[in-house]
Each structure stands twice: as structure tokens, then as C-alpha cells.
Structure 1
Amino acid sequence: MTFVQLIDCRTSQFDRMNQLMDTWVEQTKGKRTATHGIIAKDRSDASHFIEIVEFPSYEDAMRNSNLPETDKIFQEMVALCDEMPTFTDLDVVRDERLHAATVRTLFETMGAPGELPPLDGLMAESYHDHDPANEQDTMGLDAIRREMEMWRGAFDFDFSIEDQITEGDRVCTRWTWSGTHTGDFMGIPASGKKVSMTGTTIFRCGENGKIAEGWWEYDRLGLMADLGALEGMAD
């Protein structure tokens, strides 16, 4: 279970404390077990700061605390605080990455059987799609829906999510697409062949949480080879 430690402190010397944190990061390189750190300032009190540090587990946090470098930095941090900082140890019981959940739902929706449902709850009306296989970017919700319908008309398919990484408003997804060729695709008549390809997509989510932009990279050449479209072509 992921473990989070909150460090609540007051200081009028934040710049020096910030430098101290940089020193700790450098000195514990290759030793620390912390995976994520955030320092936030109270909007109503400029001297009030909260540091949020994430660890894979409580045991990892304790190993981190027992590092000589951590103890030394802690003593220096206390000297910079206006009062003794407080620590709160938290076991994470729910970790919901909302942008990632939206993207997963979109991948599920694209491959769902039956009629394609409305996309306005997932994608922005002004959605902008970058696909190197298309001569021009696809602009707007109606246009990307037509693009999806083209794929759905040619294949019965679904996506398997292999990896997903979130950073700010971006979600990067590595996926495997598997399908059966059931309809015309770029002039290739339905063959009934089982095909697959891998790819990676980066989506940017807007302020309203909807997907606003996407960048695709996938093995379309491999797909065409599986469909027999490259047979007879010169090397």
C-alpha cells in the first residue's frame, strides 16, 4: 500500500529551506526511497508550508527516515522553522487519477460493441488529434467521431492497456490493439483475419477534465502487412 507523510511547518526562511531540500535530494541520490514530493504554501498564511512525500510503503518511509543524510537535513530544517514541525503518517486507501480514468474510459468506449455512444462527456468539442497516418490533423468532436467510426466499421477490436503514466494534464498510454477485419479498410475488403498492433498515445486533458488533444504513434505498417496489403511490393 502506498504511504504518504505530511510535514506541516511554519518558516519565514522558505528560500533557505527550499535549498535545503535540494541538498537532501542530491545527498540521498541512489539511497532514498521517496518516490514523489510536493511542497505547498498556505494561500492565507505565507509562512505556513506543507510538504507531502510519497513512499511505496511505510517500511520504505522508515528506511528513508533512518538515512544519516535525512537526519542531518531534518535537524537543519528544524532550525529554520518558527516552531517544531508536525508529522502525519497516512496509509493511502484511495488513489484516483482522474485524467487517467477518463483516458481508460475512452479506450474502452472506442472498442465497445454496438453503436458508438456520445463522446461529449469524455472529449472537448474542440478536440485536436495528431495522427501521422493522416495528411491533416483531425479537428473537432464530430471529425474524431467519424475517424473512430471508420475504424469500427472495418474491425471488431478492443484495446489492452499495458502502461499508463500521468504528468500534470498529460496521460501517456502504451496499448495493444487487437481486432478482426470485418469490413473495408482503405480499399482492402473484409478478410476475417485476426490482426493486432501496438502503439502509444499521449492525451492532454483540459481544465474541465475532458480530453482536449491527442498524439498517436502506432504500427500501422505492421497492420497493413498483416492484412496482406504489402504483398508483391518491391523491397
Structure 2
Amino acid sequence: MTFVQLIDCRTSRFDEMNRLMDRWVEQTRGKRTATHAVVGKDLSDASHFVEIVEFPSYEEAMRNSNLPETERIFRELVALCDGMPTFTDLDVVRDEQLNRGVARAFFEEAGRGEPEAVFERCTDDYVDHDPANPQDLGLRGAREEYAGWRRSFDFSFRVDDQVAEADRVCTRWTWTGRHTGEFLGVAATGQEVTMTGTTWHRFRDGSICEGWWQYDRAGLLEQLGAVAQTP
């Protein structure tokens, strides 16, 4: 996020305004440069609304404003407002999604091999969902599974991408390791291996309370020679 515009207005006709904005979204498909919009209602004044619209840059915001559809919708918007809306242009100087930072730190600590530091970010009732396990694990089971991976591999994580929404963070990662101990019946080979995966974390009060894992376990076994490689 680099630039946002705040639109402050008063109206007793919000339902009509909402339909108007739906129409703008439809009419500007493939043209608009706005990437995210949030509308808030003042708890102390039901006629007071603030819309926050995100853009990649000020220049993109201006290009969006110059769309004929935007100009037409703006005139209709003014007609629904109790007075002229006010606009505030803001360069974003700090953008911190707190849960996303915790998820990144989880993988950084997991790569350093410090179990206490990894799982201190999790709640006591943490639930771990992994299709490789016959049943979901609690915090103790997740710790034990992590310790098992550590006995088999010296590994680290690289965070490739993250998306955060509401109480969830999705992390796409690359795992790189050296096979130093028995793994699923395969004796240590000393081989360097890699694996990609995606993890969804759910947060409660700033801590991770649930995790869903998907990763290329079959590809890892191929690299270790445990299964035949796909032609």
C-alpha cells in the first residue's frame, strides 16, 4: 500500500449510495486502478460515512479519477450527500499488518531450529491440520512433529509470498534442507533437498490458533529416492 484517499461525507441515503458504488465497480472493470475500498459508518452519527480507497500510487489515483465512469458516478454521489464530500489524499508512511509479521516470524524461527521460539507464537489450544497425519494435532503434537523433522533434516524456510485477510494469513514458502537422519524409513543420505508449500494460519488475539498445511511431500520423497520419479 502506497497511497490512499479518504472520502468523508454525510448522507441519509446510504442504501442508494451503496448501489451506486456497486454500479461503479461493475462499469470500471478492466479500467480502474483502485485496489481496495473500505467504507465505515460513524458509531456516534449514523449519517456520517468515511470511505478509504487504496491505490498503487498518487498517479494511479489520478488516472482513476479521470475515468469518465468515475466522473459520472461522482456527480450522482454528490446528489445523494448532505453537502459536498471532502477528499484527503494520503501517502502511506507505515503499513504494518501485524498478523502477517507474526506468521513470517514463525517461519523464520522454524528455520533456525528453536522450538520454543517457534511455538511461543501459538495459543495453548492450537490445532494443526496436515493431510499427512491421520488426525489433527494439538500444540504438543505439533511440537513433537517439528522435533521429528529436525531429527531428519537440517532445514530452513524462505517466505516467498504472503496474503493477509481478517484473522487469517496465507504464506507460500520454500523449504530447503539436508537429509541428516532417518525419514519415513529412508536412512540419512546427506542429500540437499527442497520442497514448496503453502500454510494458512488463523489468529486470535495476536497469536496463531490454527494452521492448515499443504506441501509437496511426494516430491521430497522422490528426491530422496524413496519413490520412483514421475516421467
- Normalized against structure 2, the TM-score is what? 0.95
Aligned to 1:125: 124
2:166 corresponds, among 146, 154, 168, to 168
Aligned to 2:73: 73
CA distance in 2: counterparts of 1:135 and 1:103, whole angstroms: 25
CA distance in 2: counterparts of 1:142 and 1:150, whole angstroms: 13
Aligned to 1:104: 104
Stretch deviating more after TM superposition (48-57 or 161-170): 161-170
SS of residue in 1 equivalent to 2:115: coil
- Tell me the amino acid that sits aligned with residue 132 of structure 1: P
1:116 Cα deviation from its structure 2 partner: 2.4
CA distance in 2: counterparts of 1:125 and 1:83, whole angstroms: 52
Specify whether residues 120 and 224 from structure 1 end up closer, same or farther in structure 2 by C-alpha distance, changes over 3 A only. closer
Aligned to 1:29: 29
Aligned to 1:189: 187
Q: Over residues 173-203 of structure 1, what are the superposed CA-to-partner deviations in whole Å (9 max), with x where a residue is unaligned? A: 1111100011222232221110111111111
- Tell me the amino acid that sits aligned with residue 136 of structure 2: D
- Corresponding pairs, count: 230
CA distance in 2: counterparts of 1:143 and 1:213, whole angstroms: 13
CA distance in 1: counterparts of 2:97 and 2:150, whole angstroms: 28
SS of residue in 2 equivalent to 1:102: helix
Aligned to 1:217: 214
Kept in 2, the 8 Å contact 1:161–1:174? The answer is: yes
SS of residue in 2 equivalent to 1:50: strand
CA distance in 2: counterparts of 1:56 and 1:152, whole angstroms: 41
Q: How does 1:144-163 map to 2 (within 5 A)?
A: 144-163=142-161
Kept in 1, the 8 Å contact 2:109–2:117? The answer is: no
Kept in 2, the 8 Å contact 1:109–1:117? The answer is: no
Q: Over residues 136-185 of structure 1, what are the superposed CA-to-partner deviations in whole Å (9 max), with x where a residue is unaligned? A: 1112x222111111111111111111111112111111111100011222
Kept in 2, the 8 Å contact 1:36–1:55? The answer is: yes
CA distance in 1: counterparts of 2:134 and 2:52, whole angstroms: 46
Q: Which runs of 5+ in 1 are unaligned?
A: none
1:119 Cα deviation from its structure 2 partner: 4.3
1:107 Cα deviation from its structure 2 partner: 0.6
- Tell me the amino acid that sits aligned with residue 56 of structure 2: P
Aligned to 2:16: 16
Kept in 1, the 8 Å contact 2:164–2:170? The answer is: yes
Kept in 1, the 8 Å contact 2:10–2:82? The answer is: yes
Q: How well do the aligned residues superpose, as a CA RMSD in angstroms?
A: 1.6
CA distance in 1: counterparts of 2:220 and 2:95, whole angstroms: 36
Aligned to 1:177: 175
CA distance in 2: counterparts of 1:55 and 1:68, whole angstroms: 18
Specify whether residues 68 and 218 from structure 1 end up closer, same or farther in structure 2 by C-alpha distance, changes over 3 A only. same
- Tell me the amino acid that sits aligned with residue 134 of structure 1: N
Q: Over residues 33-81 of structure 1, what are the superposed CA-to-partner deviations in whole Å (9 max), with x where a residue is unaligned? A: 0000000001111011000000000000000001111111111111111
Specify whether residues 223 and 144 from structure 1 end up closer, same or farther in structure 2 by C-alpha distance, changes over 3 A only. same
- Tell me the amino acid that sits aligned with residue 178 of structure 2: T
SS of residue in 2 equivalent to 1:60: helix
Q: Which runs of 5+ in 2 are unaligned?
A: none
